[in-house]
Amino acid sequence: MSGLLEQLAIMLGRAPRRPLKVTETAAAIHAAKRGRGVKRAELLEEIHDANENHTWRNRRWMVLIGINLLFTLSFWVDIQILEGSLTASRFIGFHLADPYSSLLVVLSAKRVPVNLAIGAATIALFWGLVGGRAFCSWACPYHLVAEWAEMLHLRLASRGIVRDHPIHRATRSVLWVAFALLTLLTGYALFLVLNPIGMLSRALIYGPSLALAWVLLLLAFEVLYARRAWCRYVCPIGLTYGFLGAKAPLRVTYDLESCAHEGECRKVCEVSHVLELTIKGRAEDAKMDVGPDCTRCGLCVDICPTGALRYELKGVKRLL
Amino acid sequence: MSEGRAPALPPQSKKAKPPRLSREQEQRRQVLRGGVAAVGLLLLQPLAWIPVVRRWRERLRPPGALVENAFLGACIKCGQCVQVCPVEALVLADAKDGFGLGVPYIDARRQACDFSCDALSCILACPTGALSHALHTKEEVRAGVARLARPDACRARKGEGFRGLARGDRFSGRLRYEEIDRWNPLPVRDHPYDREVCDLCVIECPIGEEAIQLVPFDDGSGQRRMTPWVKRGCVGCGVCEMICPAEPAAIVVDARAEYGEGRGRDPGNEARGPLEAAPKIEADET
């Protein structure tokens, strides 16, 4: 359990540390790899191939666009499958609600609406099984536009035009509490006014709005100043899903043996602290799960030149 | 992603080159940036308070809406109410409404709530109870009260009838014309009127004579004319405001107003009944 607590602490903002204890198998692998430098040069070909591989990203984008299209079409063509927006909706009649937005509404209204509780519980259960922050990379429309902004940021950064200014990750944890407390004190779900996910989701369904200016401002900030700032350092919705998926069976798993430690995965990762276990000498065990902050986006799975990072559905092997 | 591997061109400006920092310095900067970002975001939020506190926009809210502050606090801004409304009377407010962002309202002149749904679908769709489930029938709704805002523009009071399309041939609003189609609201522009004395607000009122009636009044010159009389059955749905052929509408709905509020001196109000406050819904009981 201390492993889980450690992982949650890292998600809340603590820097990952060198492991205190390493299993014998892992120690043996570490020992065998010692003295051998990271053979980037030898891997170059594989790295290059991996860079061309967008299998999971493309699948994910299709799912993400599909989900948001289902919302839009449910309204525009009135197919009535997924009605509402990402903050709350009904899927063929069943209530769904975003857990953090629901919490804020409960705190501001100071009562628990039954339908909202049912909706939030359903969503918590679903993403708890499918992988917590998988919501972010597989459903959230802001994640997609932020990915595009990130591409632009990286392109500009590679030319030295912009530079990333990392922000302390504990900011997100502090804001999670602050937004909730403010809501309790004022009686308004204040955060929902800043929430680019809701704005974007509503704009996609009900038509563009002035509120999109705020979304553009955030994206500009991410391009020019801090890479993926909203998702990394602010979004309380994402953090909530992180908690919900802390024990999710769908994980990205890491295989120490086959890892070449060249570090391509950490460069593409939105939450690279979860991949610090791929740094040489950091892994506690020969096989490890990537932490709860992982959005299961699969960019690392796509880019890993040695196949050391993979998707895995825990317990399936045991069931079969 | 190919960007990660893009060949490193020589930096074009020296400014973009990151300064060498010790671990502690970098850590301190990250904390500082985090502090500035958090404080910035938290200070930004009260800006959204201004339109609410200053009451920049008095919005006509959907049936069953809680009192304004409770309503804004309880709404999760999902728009499910918008989706179920058969006449699409509900729209979500934009950033100019501050905390009202993403909260539904009705622009009655554009499209009023005509209760085509019968069942108060918006209330049933609301997952948070921001639209109170305490209401079951349209007669219980108290969204506001209609008021003859421009009596001089009222055709009935001028003794005029009305022939033609109430709002012209380009008006997109719809209304339930029960005698033609019980189940589907029809475009107002497809439904010409021919009335000897203009009484559109009265004949199209979804509530009926409990809410509005045409009554005779003396305009001072000794001529007997007719005037609409808003009664305490008025639910504030806004159909009278939508259908009024005067431009701008002679009759409007005052959002969240209570019956009789501040209108004792309106001309043509001699026949007004006793004042009676509309029940306020503070919170949903269910």
C-alpha–C-alpha distance, residues B47 and A60, integer Å: 37
> Is A61:A144 a contact under the CB 8 Å cutoff?
yes
- Give the type of residue at A182: L
3-state helix, strand, coil in chain A (%, to 5): 60, 10, 35
Same domain? For A110 and A176 the reply is yes
What's the pLDDT score for residue A166?
95
pLDDT in tens, A271-285: 999 999 999 989 999
Q: Is residue A157 part of a domain?
A: yes
pLDDT in tens, B264-279: 444 444 444 333 333 3
B9 to chain A, closest Cα gap in Å? 6
Task: Determine, for residues B128 and A158 on separate chains, whether the beta-carbon distance falls below 8 Å.
Answer: no
Nearest Cα residue in chain A from B39: A175
CATH classification of the domain holding A261? 3.30.70
Sort out which chain A residues have CB atoms less than 8 A from B49's CB and list them. 188
pLDDT in tens, A75-126: 988 888 899 999 999 999 899 999 999 999 999 999 999 999 999 999 999 9
Of A84, A89, A151, the CB nearest to B1: A151
What's the pLDDT score for residue A52?
83
Q: Which domain holds residue A144?
A: 57-243
Same domain? For A182 and A116 the reply is yes
Final residue belonging to a domain, choices A180, A212, A243: A243
What's the pLDDT score for residue A38?
67
Same domain? For A190 and A288 the reply is no
Q: Is residue A22 part of a domain?
A: no
Task: Determine, for residues A209 and B45 on separate chains, whether the beta-carbon distance falls below 8 Å.
Answer: no
Interface predicted TM-score of the whole assembly (ipTM), two decimals: 0.90
Final residue belonging to a domain, choices A191, A211, A243: A243
Same domain? For A76 and A117 the reply is yes
C-alpha–C-alpha distance, residues A285 and B47, integer Å: 50
Q: Is residue A23 part of a domain?
A: no
What's the pLDDT score for residue B17?
57
Q: Are strands B174-175 and B212-218 parallel, antiparallel or unpaired?
A: unpaired
Same domain? For A76 and A96 the reply is yes
Task: Determine, for residues A192 and B101 on separate chains, whether the beta-carbon distance falls below 8 Å.
Answer: yes
What's the pLDDT score for residue A320?
65
Q: Residue A99 to residues A205, A226, A255, B252: CA-CA distances in angstroms?
A: 21, 27, 33, 40
What's the pLDDT score for residue B63?
95
**Average pLDDT by consecutive 10-residue portion of chain B (286 residues)?**
45 56 89 94 86 83 93 94 94 90 96 92 94 92 93 92 95 93 92 95 94 84 84 94 96 89 46 38 48
Same domain? For A225 and A199 the reply is yes
Q: How many CB pairs under 8 A join A and B?
A: 196
Is the model's pTM score more than 0.90? no
What's the pLDDT score for residue B4?
44
User: Is residue B196 less than 8 Å (CB to CB) from chain A?
Assistant: no
Same domain? For A103 and A138 the reply is yes
Same domain? For A150 and A232 the reply is yes
The residue ranges of every structural domain in chain B are 56-255
Final residue belonging to a domain, choices A200, A221, A243: A243
Same domain? For A145 and A64 the reply is yes
For A:22-81, CB contacts with B below 8 A are 47-48, 51-52, 74-75
- Tell me which of B72, B85, B128 to substitute to probe the interface with A (most A C-beta atoms closer than 10 Å): B128
User: Is residue A199 less than 8 Å (CB to CB) from chain B?
Assistant: yes
**Average pLDDT by consecutive 10-residue portion of chain A (320 residues)?**
82 90 91 77 76 91 96 88 92 94 94 94 94 94 97 96 95 96 91 94 93 96 96 97 94 93 92 93 92 95 93 79
What's the pLDDT score for residue B268?
43
Same domain? For A158 and A96 the reply is yes
Q: Is residue A229 part of a domain?
A: yes
Same domain? For A226 and A262 the reply is no
Q: Is residue A95 part of a domain?
A: yes
Of A48, A87, A190, the CB nearest to B76: A87
Task: Determine, for residues B99 and A108 on separate chains, whether the beta-carbon distance falls below 8 Å.
Answer: no
Domain total of chain A: 2
Same domain? For A239 and A279 the reply is no
